Amino acid sequence: MPQGIVKPSNQIVAYGDVKPIEIEVGANATEAKMLAGRVVIFDDVDQTVMEASAKAVNVVGFLEVDPAKKKTDNYEVGDQAKVVVDNCFAVLTLLASENVTRGDPLVTADDGKLAKQAVGAMGAQGQVVAYTWESSNVTVDAEILVHWKPSAEPAAAS
């Protein structure tokens, strides 16, 4: 029996009792970026989502594999996407050249990927959405195990 949490090969959720919800892929989504393991935000119309941008603050969840498709197949505009909003352990896409250590807080990067939260002014860092469960320091995008547990971004002082 393996120790720890094993990365799944055919789904994104690695551990946790989650119930993905179906949300329509919005008109502003870039279909090529609507991949399993990518973070999504609200699109312009209620009950629609698109890929997250850098330091997003309106994160909905992340895309899970559509049971009728392969892990590498993207969702298209108008599709009902499987979106995980529950706390869990998942294999998500870390931006290339991010040097992370176990426990580092992660925020969104462009295209629904994740990046290490940078030091900066409160209210300008993005919403912490996950914490690394393993270290990574590679020059290409990496699929890493994370503890998905979104929190609110602190508001900037006025």
Please tell me the predicted confidence (pLDDT) of residue 133: 96
Tokens at 34, concatenated = 């609507």
Residue 1 has pLDDT above 60, yes or no: no
pLDDT of 36-88, one tens digit each?
999 999 999 999 999 999 999 889 999 999 999 999 999 999 999 999 999 99
pLDDT of 102-129, one tens digit each?
999 999 999 999 999 987 656 567 889 9
Please tell me the predicted confidence (pLDDT) of residue 150: 85
Please tell me the predicted confidence (pLDDT) of residue 91: 97
Q: What is the pTM of this model?
A: 0.91
> Which of residues 100 and 1 earns the better pLDDT score?
100
Share the mean pLDDT of the chain. Answer: 91
Please tell me the predicted confidence (pLDDT) of residue 155: 58
Please tell me the predicted confidence (pLDDT) of residue 57: 86
Please tell me the predicted confidence (pLDDT) of residue 108: 95
